[in-house]
Structure 1
């Protein structure tokens, strides 16, 4: 079993004894930390940097492209609305909001079950299969002719999409350290604002086509984007590797290093991927940081999903005399700015290994944007406000999910914690579908007032929890770890998860 006197792994070509110690920490059911959470193995930073770069090249492109088209397939209904979706289907009054809402019924109900299924199947199969399902649903949307058919397709779209965001977050947590995860989540969640930008550009280009097969106007948007998604999902069956131990593109030394460095941050953990365990899964859901962060994500999603569904509509009210294609193009720049900050904030998080303070600090930007919407009817002011909002809220997706992952220990707890967080976030998405109502146009005081309230709550809840984490860590510092663990088996210790006396909250 490794000890604190283990020699540092300082060269790319390890000595035989160093190989053995690293392999012990990685594969032989031994803990890689002491009872205080201190790592028992010393890892070469240069070897880690090389491994991290290799992981980035192999893992991120596939999941990023899938999430890009996941968000496009969900939000392209906003672009289709401008191109005649409502008129052709005979939607009146609140019918459009109803069609949006039905998506979230399955999306919310199936969130935790789908993340459990992801762990059971393995992300290498679950993520591509889910992507294939929602790609087909997008194609089927091009075939609908009335409200009932549109609602049915949107229901199944939600069922297939529900597991992708938490599934990818859970998947990447198998490969990356706590401090590294937020930036890697940003590399795929940045596809949400890019989907808004690219979706507008793509919709504009598609609408210039005379037809696509037998499809015309808005039907082409769903058909073409769905076909691309199906193609990407089929490729991903071959490109997404389930776990470090099965990665053929890593050497045995790299697989051992990948596993050992993750275990070295998880106090009391003897295996990287434990079996599904009800007690651990409940630990993940009942974790105070999981609950508070999930509430934050609920507030965040009211804004993020509202932007996805209603930005084209809001832009149309700002520039009512522009052509449909011009209105589509006006939605692009705010999303580009949002994408920039979606990467910058998590990059800062990686460098300082902090997330909670960044979550709190980003909220005032969104608050300022909605104050501008409420205070002015000037088109330039209102359009400028969209840039402040997107620069704030899109970055919170990777920050929130990485914060949940950083504050649980076992793989089972992480799976349920991320699933619960995204489930509550989806409730925010459901609320967002009713945030911008027809009678409230063109200034949308209700929708903008609601979003000002939610961004304010993000600031309040995250600040309170930051103070609580610091206070609780001080309490844990004063406890006797050895005394509290006395008489417990290794399995009992692992089941403690965040209740382990050596565990510390990661702000």
Structure 2
């Protein structure tokens, strides 16, 4: 936000006179219309909103938007990570896999996932998330079902590659979709409400796999094949329902009154300096603004490192548990993977809730690192089964919260809708490069203690701590530097469109830690 000391007194008075109370309605109507800015040139909102009206709107948005995207993401993550459950249920033996074949199978998924990440989010903006998200969900549900019918490594690699194409747009697509509806302080917690499905997928996926494996058969399928078939069918059903329940944007939401639509649009615009429309036209310059933002690049690098540990835990938790409890049955080993993920789900909600309360994300990202550092130190420092199992709880307590925090952080530190789509796309793409690295972090010859995998994850988490801290200090330094700029002088002679295109380079823009 602009520093009030830099605003001449006459301009400050004028800006104050332009503020309109939400109860009047007219100010919100104007702020919601295309071509009308909701902030002055100093980034100050021109409309004040009734907190009670905002609270009612938030509850309605939470009810209509969050449950559907959360369920879709739950089965997105299950359909991706259930290969870990299938592995200890006989997948490797049945497909004739050996050596590094399992690691290669995981890598194939991430190759397509990474390549299609940013293009998928651009397509999401172009087509509209109300259609795009259900369509890709249906796609990966069908592919999961087809995985039940593979008979060799080549076929399995083929379906995993296609699975990566469909799942690439899911996490960034939902994050971008919710950014159309919520303020920056509210967004982190709403992102956590669907990203929490990642640790819950570990818990629920383990329970579901255990339950499925107790069945004699599903149709003509037996063993690990039943896991892919049942979970794929559930995903297909949820995807068909979501075509009816997801709404693209506030203007097309039949479940909002006109007053609520205006409020939903105006309050999002009020946080975007110099913006005259929430959904701007897509162009290359704005896409690059989102990608090249210093905070986007820093946060994306941190998410890459974080995702090495997240995906490593998701894919190898069943294997780690088997090395700790080798004498337990397969079903029991599956069940031992559940409790750490339940703990992870709890903290994935609590940390973003704190972020919402204090409207900060960078400090919370920094605070996610200490327990993870301790957890991987325990993996490296002891072979005691009880201590190593306890370490998995420390890991899951902090790892998953970085997902909503990082996506919310890149969203909060760009202005236009187009820049937001590319910033989130880059963040998730980098995160999944971390996932690709994770597929090779736990190598067969390094078992049962996996010194290389655990050492890599410890180093990654320590680097996140250093980068996150350095970024926080840089954001504060650059904000102070911007305070010395004269906004009127720098904007003099520029057209409205040129001012909008400045995005985070606008002199009144401030980084939001």
TM-score (norm 1): 0.98
* C-alpha distance in structure 1 between counterparts of 2:27 and 2:451, whole Å: 62
Counterparts of 2:184 and 2:424, CA distance in 1:
14
Residue 3 of structure 1: how far off its partner (Å): 5.7
Q: Provide the residue aligned with 1:497 in structure 2.
A: 503
CA distance in 2 between counterparts of 1:9 and 1:333 reads 49
Q: Is 1:121 the counterpart of 2:127 in the alignment?
A: yes
Q: 1:352 aligns with which of 325, 347, 358?
A: 358
Distance (Å, rounded) in 1 between the aligned partners of 2:18 and 2:508: 21
Q: Counterpart in 1 of 2:485?
A: 479
1:187 Cα deviation after fit: 0.1
Which of 183, 206, 210 is matched with 1:204 structurally? 210
SS across alignment from 2:135: helix
Contact 2:21 2:27 in 1 (8 A): no
Q: Distance in 1 between matches of 2:380 and 2:166?
A: 37
TM-score after normalising by structure 2? 0.97
Residue 169 of structure 1 pairs with residue 164 of structure 2? no
Preserved contact between residue 436 and residue 444 of structure 1 (Cα < 8 Å): yes
Change (3 A) 1:360 1:7: closer
* Residue pairs, 1:254-273, within 5 angstroms: 254-273=260-279
- Match of residue 16 from structure 2: 4
Residues 1:245 and 2:257 are matched in the alignment: no
Distance 1:320 1:284 in 2: 48
Distance 1:381 1:370 in 2: 11
Tell whether the 8 Å contact from 1:8 to 1:44 is kept in structure 2 after alignment.
no
Runs of 4+ in 1 over 3 A off after TM superposition: 6-10
Query: 1:4–1:41: 8 Å Cα contact kept in structure 2?
Result: no
Is the aligned partner of 1:142 residue 2:142? no
* Aligned with 2:221 (options 215, 218, 234): 215
CA offset digits 1:130-187 (Å, max 9, x no partner): 0000000100000000000000000000000000000000000000000000000000
Q: Structure 2: how far apart are the matches of 1:354 and 1:3?
A: 27
Specify which of 285, 288, 306 is matched with residue 294 of structure 2.
288
Deviation at 1:29, TM superposition (A): 1.3
The aligned length equals 500
SS at match of 1:473: helix
Deviation at 1:385, TM superposition (A): 0.3
Equivalent in the alignment of 1:463: 469
- 1:56 aligned to 37, 58, 62, which one? 62
| Alignment equivalent of 1:306, drawn from 301, 309, 312 | 312
Alignment of 1:195 with 2:201, yes or no, is yes
Deviations 1:25-66, CA, capped at 9 Å, x for gaps: 001311101111110001101100000010000000000000
TM-aligned CA deviation for residue 6 of structure 1: 4.7
Q: Is the 8 A contact 2:20 2:27 kept in 1?
A: no
Q: Secondary structure at the match of 2:48?
A: coil
How far 1:5 sits from its partner (Å)? 2.4
How far apart, CA to CA, are the structure 1 residues paired with 2:314 and 2:132? 25
Which residue of the partner structure matches residue 31 of structure 1? Answer: 37
Q: CA-atom RMSD, angstroms?
A: 0.9
The structural deviation recorded for 1:7 is: 6.2
Q: Which of residues 324, 327, 340 in structure 1 aligns to 2:330?
A: 324
* Structure 1 unaligned regions, length at least 5: none
Q: Unmatched 5+ residue regions in structure 2?
A: 1-13
**1:179 aligned partner:** 185
